[in-house]
Amino acid sequence: MEKHNEDSKPKVYYIQVLAEWAGQRIDNFLLARLKGVPKTFIYRILRKGEVRVNKGRIQPSYRVAEGDQIRIPPVRQSEVQPTGAHAAKTGYSLKEKIIYEDDQLCILNKPSGLAVHGGSGLSFGVIEALRAMYQIESPYADLELVHRLDRETSGCLVIAKRRSALRLMHEKLREGALEKIYWALVRGRWEGPSQVDAPLLKNQLQSGERMVKVHEEGQASLTEFRVLQYFDNCTLVEARPITGRTHQIRVHAAYAGHPIAGDTKYGDEEFNKMIKATVGLDRIFLHAYELRFQSLKGMGMLEVQAPLDEKLTDTLQQLREDHV
């Protein structure tokens, strides 16, 4: 990828239609690739004939075919929606967090505090920021979230660059072929089971907040836990969600009697206050540490690890010093 230069002039782009994109209307095709650009601009460049397919003018109803060469005119920053510039700036900061990338996938070490997508009062999240950044560097990238992480959870997050890659990764999720490994700091000395098999039910409070609880009418849910290190009043554990339910690890840990440190929704308020006062932890200690799956490029098993951020590293260091 070329390095972004804010002073560089907008350029004409040419995109060759892949088989997976064939059949889309040209207006929808452009909307999917020019993220953040208003629909009015898309229809204006189509109406004025600035978009060409195989060097010829087309109607907004034209459906792209495999192999078509699409000419896209320059897109100036002023034509991007107001949040576009801010999102792109965030995208460039996230670029430093990328821990694996090929032409089909991007895996980044998501920071805590950043939502994976916009909504609920947020103008943009990880996916919108990356789309804004890739729009500048590679406007034909078809970025979509493969899975989600809670806003305060850090670690491995997979982004698909193509629809075909998204379908393949979703197949792996359904088949259990995408192994996720989390690290969590929990209250007390872990005496819970190595597996928590408890159905989870989602409900929504009047405030609109989504909560999950163990309930016999819920969906089957299974999490495996393994102790990594004991401390004086807490334990570092490895958690492997075999199923992929909302807030699964957080609810299962609390159900086992060991809520996660810093969890304000399912945790222990007194424990959270204590851990904040003693080691300064002011966020949930839940980190998507590792992903394992068969490479989409036929290169065997892919194992990607996301290092702990400074806050979590310092927390463990202080706990180890106090434990000596």
In a domain, 3, yes or no: no
Nearest alpha-carbon partner for 139 in 59, 91, 83, 72 = 72
The domain boundary residue, chosen from 27, 54, 79: 79
**201 lies in which domain range?**
176-323
In this structure, the answer to whether residues 202 and 247 fall within a common structural domain is yes
| Catalytic positions, written as ranges | 150
Which pLDDT does position 208 carry in this prediction? 67
Reported as a single tens digit per residue, the pLDDT across 242-271 is 999 999 999 999 999 999 999 999 999 999
Q: Which residue has the higher pLDDT, 239 or 15?
A: 239
Q: Which residue has the higher pLDDT, 91 or 41?
A: 41
In this structure, the answer to whether residues 187 and 156 fall within a common structural domain is no
In a domain, 306, yes or no: yes
Q: Which residue has the higher pLDDT, 278 or 77?
A: 278
Which pLDDT does position 29 carry in this prediction? 85
In this structure, the answer to whether residues 126 and 202 fall within a common structural domain is no
Which pLDDT does position 38 carry in this prediction? 75
Nearest alpha-carbon partner for 70 in 19, 30, 24, 11 = 30
* Average of per-residue pLDDT across 22-26: 87
Nearest alpha-carbon partner for 118 in 156, 80, 146, 145 = 145
Average pLDDT, the chain: 86
HSE, CB side, 13 Å, CA atoms: give it for residue 47.
6
* Average of per-residue pLDDT across 216-232: 96
Which pLDDT does position 6 carry in this prediction? 40
In this structure, the answer to whether residues 198 and 300 fall within a common structural domain is yes
CATH number, residue 69: 3.10.290.10
Tell whether the model's pLDDT for residue 7 goes beyond 80: no
In this structure, the answer to whether residues 228 and 315 fall within a common structural domain is yes
The domain boundary residue, chosen from 79, 105, 137: 79
Q: Which residue has the higher pLDDT, 147 or 10?
A: 147
The domain boundary residue, chosen from 164, 190, 207: 164
- Tokens read off for 62: 């034209």
In this structure, the answer to whether residues 306 and 219 fall within a common structural domain is yes
In the chain, the DSSP E strands lie at 13-16, 52-53, 56-57, 69-72, 98-101, 105-110, 144-145, 154-160, 179-187, 195-197, 200-204, 210-214, 222-230, 234-241, 286-294, 301-305
Tell whether the model's pLDDT for residue 294 goes beyond 80: yes
Which pLDDT does position 77 carry in this prediction? 46
In this structure, the answer to whether residues 104 and 58 fall within a common structural domain is no
Q: Which residue has the higher pLDDT, 225 or 38?
A: 225
In this structure, the answer to whether residues 131 and 225 fall within a common structural domain is no
Domains in the chain, number? 3
Instruction: Work out the percent of the chain whose per-residue pLDDT is above 70.
Output: 86
